[in-house]
Every structure is written in C-alpha cells, then in structure tokens.
Amino acid sequence: MRFIRKTAEPRKLAEFKRKNRNTPQVLRYSNLTAGARRELQETLLTEQGRLCAYTMMPIGRSRSSGNADDFHIEHIRPRSRERERDLDYDNMLLCTPGPRAEHCEYGAHRKADAEVDDANFVSPLSPSCETRLQYRLTGQVRATAERDDAAGRTIDLLNLNHPNLVEARVETLRSQGLASDAKRPISAAQASRLARKITEVDHKGQIAPFCIAIKQIAEGIARKQKARAARIARSAGE
C-alpha cells in the first residue's frame, strides 16, 4: 500500500458545499454535478499517481483511449455508517474496479461497508502504511509486525492475497529483475537505484504499479548483497 498525501479540496466540491451549506438535505455525494465529480476524479487521479489506493493496480489509463473509467470513488469510512463524512474530501479515494464492473473479490468491493477506524484498519492516508504491510518475492503480503492486528485485518478485509493480485505482483517483480527465478539478478547498486526511483511520478503523472512492493524487495536485495560483499571482504582480509 502506498501512502497518499491529500492535497487541497477540489474547487467545485468546495463551491458545492458552500452553496448548499444552508440546505443540509442537499449536501450529499449523490447530488454532486457531473462537472464536480469529474474534477474530483481528476484531482484524486493526480494525487494517487493513477494507482488504486488499496491494491496499487493501475487506474485511469483507459481514458486516453475513450474507454469507460476503470475506477470508482471509495469512501474509507462508509457513507452508510458515517453520513456526515459523505462529502469529506479526506474520506475519498479512487479504487478499482470501474462503476460498471461486477463485484470484485478484493480491494474496495471486498471491504464494502465494513466498519473501519485507525485502530483496526491501515489506511493509505497513514504514512505508516508503507512499512506495516510487507510484500514478499512470492507476491504475497503480510503484516510486518506479528502483533499488528490492524495490518492483518486490513490484508484480510481487502483480500490482498487474492490469486489475481499475487500473480500480478510476481509478474511486475519479474519485469524489474527482482523475481526469485531471475536469470540475471540485479546488483546492489541497481536495486538501490530502483528503490529510490520506483515511487516517482513519470511525465504522464503515473507511478509504477505495485511500487511499494518493488521498493521493499529491491531494498531487501540491496541489503543482502551489501552484507554478502562485506562478509567476503572481511574473509579476504583475514
């Protein structure tokens, strides 16, 4: 999971809330104009580097081809439970799949209207999300700390070890030369460079899918190779 730093509330959303502040019955997400929703989506796409907030899968890349959106707006704290946060920008994210898709077995669809808070759920809006979930070469993810019940619940609630996600992570790791069966393993220097660069936004405003998984594993490979080189150097000096 990648940490998402929220930016300023979109202008049209703020205007809608200001215009209807005296008619609370109108202040509902469902009443937003098409223009306000589109601006909201564009702002969130930029904010998230065109990655699903929960799975780090690519989203919003079908727009240039004129296809339907492959994401929907997710409310972290479900509107059915906390209606007062219906239009709270800090409660909104973009997640896969698109609004016309059938039910998805992982991510936001799997989470559905589950009750979440800071004590039982690791939110992508928390900086610690990048370290509390640990990705492995097998493509699976687990809680970094064994006693971190919230991290374990988050993985289960979002079904982040669904076979489709695991397979997609493995293929992505393989494409970066990080898979366990890589024919030509990358060097410590290459792994360190990859870990630094992989979370950067490219010229299209996109961040690499599964970037945190790649970063964590690249950092681990760099550490192991450096430790191995140090041991060899010590042995040679004895």
Asked, for residue 205, whether it belongs to a domain, the answer is yes
Instruction: Report pLDDT for 90.
Output: 96
Asked, for residue 2, whether it belongs to a domain, the answer is no
- pTM, two decimals, is 0.92
Q: What total number of domains does the chain contain?
A: 1
Asked, for residue 155, whether it belongs to a domain, the answer is yes
What's the pLDDT tens digit per position in 52-61? 999 999 999 7
Asked, for residue 56, whether it belongs to a domain, the answer is yes
Instruction: Report pLDDT for 185.
Output: 73
The residues pairing with 72 across neighbouring beta strands, listed in sequence order, are 95
Asked, for residue 5, whether it belongs to a domain, the answer is no
Q: Tell me the C-alpha distance between 208 and 223, whole Å.
A: 22
Please name which of 150, 147, 146 lies closest in space to residue 119, comparing C-alpha atoms: 150
Which domain covers residue 102, as residue numbers? Answer: 11-237
Which of 20-34, 82-96, 169-183, 185-199 is predicted least confidently? Answer: 169-183
What's the pLDDT tens digit per position in 67-118? 678 999 999 999 888 888 999 999 999 999 998 888 899 999 999 999 999 9
Instruction: Report pLDDT for 232.
Output: 80
Cα distances (angstroms) measured from residue 80 to each of 16, 110, 115, 118, 195: 21, 16, 10, 18, 39
Asked, for residue 37, whether it belongs to a domain, the answer is yes
Asked, for residue 115, whether it belongs to a domain, the answer is yes
Instruction: Report pLDDT for 66.
Output: 58
- Whether pLDDT at 213 is above 70: yes
What's the pLDDT tens digit per position in 129-182? 999 999 999 999 999 999 999 999 999 999 999 999 999 999 999 999 887 776
Q: Tell me the C-alpha distance between 54 and 206, whole Å.
A: 16
Q: Where are the beta strands (DSSP E) in the chain?
A: 72-75, 92-95, 133-135, 141-143
Structure tokens at 78: 């479900």
Asked, for residue 6, whether it belongs to a domain, the answer is no
